[in-house]
Structure 1
Amino acid sequence: MPDRPIMVVSPHLDDAVLSIGATLAALTGRGRDVTVCTVFAGEPAPPYSEFAHAFHTICGLGDDAVIRRHHEDRKATEIIGAQSLHLPFLDSIYRQDENGWLFESFDSLFEPTTDDVLVEEIAQAVHKAFGDEWPAELWTCAAFGDHVDHRLTRDAVTLLAREYNLKLVLWEDFPYAAGQANSAVGRPVPVPDVTPAHLQQKLDAVARYPSQLAMLYGAERDWREGKTLDWRSELLDHAADRLEHGGYELLWDATSRPR
């Protein structure tokens, strides 16, 4: 009997590949069925906030930003052998309520806010995305860096895993974890046979996200303290550092255990 699929729940249209692309390439290379389900992939309707317009400019995108990012994501996940699935929730930069835009600066994305209603809605949408075949495991980000969309995704997937007694695996968010000490958030999950070839597949896949690389590594990257960085060098340096702790990319089993 074939192994049940793995559902990988990514906050944005790049996070899973940036963080664990080599691991996913190794899994699909061994015949595992992997779906990368991106939560905040909904297409917003104009008008956009000044912050969203600034984001589009930094990324080299226009008003069709999300459509173009969908295209990038499909190309990237194809390289690592995974299927892509896009949920309709709006990225934080497009969300608003009766009082206006919820987030109007990069700093605001990392403030300690929460939204229990949205967490429940995300959990239900991911559950619905299972279709008729329940996954063997749910994987998502540990929310290193505290981006609001990462926290919401982690909390929703954790809620779902606990409700249905599913194995929960958390990954280390890249590039937030770059240059940081290894911070375990559960029991280590070894993924055997992740080779340099799989790491190269990851590099090839990450290169398919030019809009996000422009934002993360471009000249106007003030949120990263103006550091001059090359994404390939940072990714490879991080992988080499983490290899000393067990693998190119670190994952942890955060499944709730009965007392």
Structure 2
Amino acid sequence: MTFSATIFSAHLDDAVLSAAAQLSRPRARVVTVFAGPPPASIDRTRWDKITRASSSAERYAERLAEDERAVAALGCASVRLPEPEDQYRDGELDQRELIAKLRPYLAESAEIWLPAGIGDHPDHALLRDAVLAALREGPAAPAVFVYADLPYALRFGWPSRATGVDNPPYLDVDFWINEELVACGFDRSQLTERVFELTEDLKRAKERAVLCYRSQLPALVLTPDDTRRWQSFFRYELAWELAVSGQ
């Protein structure tokens, strides 16, 4: 089967938070890379303590169930790789092995979507670099897009080029987004921006999916209690098409 789009997700919630518009397309697939269980030696990590988990093992099982419900809400295919995420690793990840594991998923899709790495999470950066390396080493690349990592890319709100409204008097969100992309290693001239304004139906579908991640939302400062931020979150998604010569 050829997928219309393969969306690579670092963790069990990233693709739904950042690229639900793509996951909702016919024959779309999410590949969650760092979806492996915590080792038995770990009781509770710092993040799992922040989110009030009883144990990392219990929270992992809960997050898998959350992700199952979220993916079902959007109706996309799902693959989870058994790589441990940063909080569960006790050493460096073998980048060459990761590239080899990702390569088979590239040939099965008309489009490849990967995180930009905004927010500086090590797993997002590892995944981004591994996918780009696999694309460079492979045959002719499909269309490649990098998506803005949400909610991290919303630190200052949506850029004016998404909303069509000027930046506030003392805040240039567009400049900050551009600086973040450069910090992530991208040549801005090789990126063509794509703004996806979510329809009412897609907003509702994404909200149903996002609400499945109840164990993570409070720590991400993303809950319906903050009405303004919550409603703003569902207005758009932001991505950039990467020129093949820029990979």
TM-aligned CA deviation for residue 150 of structure 1: 0.5
Contact 1:6 1:139 in 2 (8 A): yes
2:240 match = 252
Contact 1:69 1:211 in 2 (8 A): yes
Show structure 2 runs of 5+ residues with no match: 157-172, 182-190
1:151 match = 125
Counterparts in 2 of 1:230 and 1:126: CA distance versus 1, 3 Å: farther
2:19 match = 20
Q: Tell me the percent identity.
A: 30
TM-aligned CA deviation for residue 126 of structure 1: 1.8
Q: Does 1:123 align with 2:96?
A: no
Q: How does 1:1-259 map to 2 (within 5 A)?
A: 4-25=3-24, 27=25, 32-48=26-42, 52=45, 54-61=46-53, 62=55, 63-97=57-91, 118-129=94-105, 134-164=108-138, 165-180=141-156, 181-182=173-174, 183=177, 185=181, 186-189=191-194, 194-217=198-221, 230=225, 233-240=228-235, 248-257=236-245
Counterparts in 2 of 1:7 and 1:128: CA distance versus 1, 3 Å: same
1:244 match = none
TM-aligned CA deviation for residue 231 of structure 1: 5.9
Contact 1:23 1:198 in 2 (8 A): no
Contact 2:195 2:237 in 1 (8 A): no
2:184 match = none
Counterparts in 2 of 1:216 and 1:190: CA distance versus 1, 3 Å: closer
TM-aligned CA deviation for residue 251 of structure 1: 1.0
Counterparts in 2 of 1:189 and 1:3: CA distance versus 1, 3 Å: farther
Secondary structure at 1:85 match in 2: strand
For these two proteins, the number of residue pairs brought into alignment is 214
Secondary structure at 1:200 match in 2: helix
TM-aligned CA deviation for residue 236 of structure 1: 2.3
Amino acid at match of 1:236: Q
Amino acid at match of 1:216: L
Per-residue CA distance 1:31-61 (angstroms, 9 max, x = gap) = x2111111110012221166x1x32233243
Counterparts in 2 of 1:210 and 1:124: CA distance versus 1, 3 Å: same
Amino acid at match of 2:14: D
Secondary structure at 2:94 match in 1: helix
Counterparts in 2 of 1:162 and 1:207: CA distance versus 1, 3 Å: same
Amino acid at match of 1:19: S
2:185 match = none
Secondary structure at 1:217 match in 2: coil
Q: TM-score, normalised by structure 2?
A: 0.76
Contact 2:114 2:131 in 1 (8 A): yes
Per-residue CA distance 1:83-131 (angstroms, 9 max, x = gap) = 121111111111113xxxxxxxxxxxxxxxxx6x63332222122346x
CA distance in 1, matches of 2:21, 2:4: 17
